[in-house]
Copies of this chain bind each other. A is one copy, B any other.
């Protein structure tokens, strides 16, 4: 039976990122695109035509229609953040498994409503953070866990920025308080926080402190900000996210014996060519440095990948959904927990900005 090996996806909204997900769903071996809905049938039909979706894909003139389709198992929700709680809760109530674009909610309180709805209805929840599903990420974790080469993790810095220009800053939904009210913090800061938590094995920091000088628009939406994060045992991290500068996807993990760096952590440079790289340095000869020679130079690790990371994400989510549908497992709580921890830190950074850059304790 096709239903047992394939998850039938519905997509709520014809956002730009929906194009990527349509492709990813078509490429994932355990997923198929069943339906797409927009607020207008015209828009949904035009989207289907423009992106040559298969004729079998059902095109709806409302999000509700997608949720009412009994042959939709799971939904991908790329709607503006301010609409997440409404539509994710409705989707769960319709027993649709939920793949929710990041940032998952405007606050942890909203996310908790979503997670409660998912739990109550026995559906799997996962957020749309793609890079964690790339095989490179698992290889990086191996490198960070190598006590001989990397030692103990002490410091992380991440910088994720892009410059979408003045038109975006004026009119984009990511600049509207009621739609994507978290701005750059939600859009790119989310990835920084997630990378930091990922490396820290998802141990929450005890506190965060935003840097003075965050830039907000007149609606209070964050255009640019930075923050540090602090752990009980002395580990620290910092990150910078912004809509005002050239594109960066940087992260540096620094241990007592080694260092791991990426400039493309959220989207591998060479992904479409079937591989991804990261740079790891260790066991440096200090004497040679003083002679003006770095020895050894950092290693470039190359990780081959069968799929791009969006496909891996869909596949991993669909695997869980299939197991839940066949009653093999209950919905996994690990994924919602990672989303929740990320949102918890994000909320704390926002609070620190609102409180004049005071430290904010993290209470989970």
Chain A: number of interface residues, binned into ranges: 35 or more
A254 touches B259 (CB 8 A): no
Q: A209-B212, A211-B238, A252-B250 are in contact. Are A292 and B267 (CB under 8 A)?
A: yes
Q: A163-B256, A263-B261 are in contact. Are A238 and B236 (CB under 8 A)?
A: no
| Bound-complex Cα distance A289 to B38 (A) | 26
Residue from B20, B215, B254 in contact with A234 in the complex, judged by beta carbons closer than 8 Å: B215
Q: A155-B245, A261-B263 are in contact. Are A228 and B212 (CB under 8 A)?
A: yes
Q: A254-B246, A284-B246 are in contact. Are A238 and B212 (CB under 8 A)?
A: no
- Any B CB within 8 A of the CB of A257: yes
| Bound-complex Cα distance A44 to B117 (A) | 77
Residues of A within 8 A of B (CB): 20, 151, 154-155, 157, 159, 161-163, 207, 209, 211-213, 215, 224, 226, 228, 230, 234, 236, 238, 240, 242, 244-248, 250, 252, 254-259, 261, 263-264, 267-273, 281-282, 284, 286, 289-294, 297-298, 308, 357, 359
Closest 6 pairs (CB-CB, A-B):
A272-B292, A271-B292, A211-B228, A269-B294, A213-B230, A245-B254
- Can you list 10 A-B contacts with CB-CB less than 8 angstroms, sorted by A residue number? A154-B224, A157-B159, A161-B254, A163-B256, A211-B238, A212-B230, A226-B228, A245-B256, A246-B257, A270-B294
